[in-house]
Structure 1
Amino acid sequence: MRVLHVYAGNLYGGVEAMLATIARHRGAVPEMETRFALAYEGRLAGELRDAGAPVAILGGARISRSWTVWSARRAMGKAIMSEKPDISIFHSAWTHGIFAPAARRADVPAVFWLHDAVSGGAAERLARRTPPRLAICTSEFVRATLPKLFPHAEGEVVHPAVAALPDVAVDRVAVRAELGTEAESVVIVQASRMEPWKGHRVHLEALGLLRDDPRWTCWLAGGAQRPHELRHRDEMQALAARLGIAERVRWLGERRDVPRLLAAADVLCQPNLGPEPFGITFVEAMYAGLPVIGAALGGAREIVTDATGVLVPPDDPSATAEALRMLIGDAEMRARLGAAGPARARELCDPEMQMRKLHGILTAGAA
């Protein structure tokens, strides 16, 4: 079975990380040949090629400019003729709406992979015109919203493939020195895009409540990729200054060594304002043996258990501060929660297991 994964590829976040992991583990199921087509060149295209995966570039499109949509669909048709897929998987409503009609015209089964809760935007209205042969959802939370888009599609849940961290020694003291952090400090890390709903404000306000505790340092990893993210970053830096914690917060920007940062940290804290569709960052943290603090929303409720972390009420800096205070002050608790993380991460997201599950679903769905 030859499977063509189709996506935009102009940004970098959880979906991109998942596709890069699929590329690196595509040999796990020899009977499933994996290829990729992206609308845009970018970091994802480079990572896919570095993994040795074939990548076709289709060209971007804007829904408001119909001629760009038709051009993109023609490019998709050419990619289908070249790659000859048995199945095409369209990741996200935008990708499905733009490119799935070309697969239908070529009589190639179109599979829709829903990565985010359905919200009713323009991309979803376009996607609705091309019902898929099969729908895959990244979490139970997301699957519950699928009927709003495709009422007759039941949807199968396949968690994102997330690989265990490389088994290499990380010099925690050296990483911390590199980032202006003392060796004995309790490092609280958040690794996410600079989106307001990722909870940076709540995180910083919680730390502001702990500003008299000298034991912690915060690392915020994640670059601003769009104008509103730049504004958000600037607003959060100003907030840290007003809270009197600016000197204890490290703004790390876009990083390609997040596993190294996690290995040198002590706690992952991401108290979302809006629900994560899944939450790959929580899984990565658990692989690294970090206890997790997250908001009791969306995918986090499917990932974080009492054995691996603490879920707090959303938009509650006081509750977040109490969870942080508890973990900052209790090294034994940090160690216990962290030790349970790797097994939980593998249970949810082991790449070979998820690739086999995907192959089984596609085989049954294409029959």
Structure 2
Amino acid sequence: MIFSKTLLDRCISCGYCLPACPTYAMTGDEASSPRGRISLMRALETGHLEDDDPTLAEQASFCLGCRACEPVCPAGVEYGNLLEEWRDHQWSGRRSPLPARLLMALVSRSWLVRAQGLVRRHARTVTSASGPSLMLGCVERGLFPRVSHAARKLAPGLSVPKRQGCCGALHAHNGDSGTGERMAKSLGDALPGTIVTTSGGCAAHLAAHVGRPRVRELSEYLVEHDHLPSGRLLVDGRVARVALQDSCHLRNGLGISRQPRELIRAVAEYVELPSAGACCGAAGTYSILRPRESGEILSVKIDEIEAAEVDFVVAVNPGCLRQLKTGLRKRGSRVRAVHLAELLVIVPR
């Protein structure tokens, strides 16, 4: 058995997922929709399609894994879990894409993940015995170390335990969900108390394996604890115009979308992008494995950002932040892409 029967049987093929799916919007191809992919999964499960079928290989890779189909599904299909089971089978061993295997090998080595802090000086504290704890993340501590410093300025009570590695989300989304689960539980054991993360994707993965009550994404934590900024962010003497790019897994997996908007509105003029809740094309390793399709999705997003005439576009996930920065730089845009924590700490107090 490849798939959990209860998960696979839940889909009633109603089609509500089709308008929410970015790859279906790109192609109009039924096979590139959640409903179509679940039909392919059923064919694989029953033996009507073999493992090496080219359509199976293509669609397992083409899916963004954004889970935008889940909130609109009347039957409550857990598509994200089905996709993990599919890739566990489809991408087992050396059938996993080489770039994904290399990245998973790197983040599996906690000492290597922690070594980034020797060069990129992320936040540090004396470890608290009870938390709450700030999770550094494997990508963010290397690419965007200022985010952890900003998070601690916003919530000084957060401790930053030293010996923390990767949460395993990268593994879960790339064909090794068993290792991903073990890594999440190991990180949960290493971080005392409530775990606060500045990465939406990590938040959703951790919540699934260490329990939702223990996990808080930063905007959620700040709103819950009334760490609301009181100043206004000005640009050229006027209130700044700020847009948001949702984290797919934060919005679709944990239902968190109000809190980052509430924080932005407290300090700036919030501008809602038409596709703020749709994937930016980063999608974990997707921008590496499928650069053409990722770039196509990003190009539409950058068009919207430019048309909105905003000063900043905010991300709540490091992969999204990297994607937006890359797109804006290539376009020669004046718009700055920043993490929510970075935006809030530049507000005058």
TM-score range for the pair, normalised by the shorter chain length? 0.3 to 0.5
More strand by share: 1
More helix by share: 2
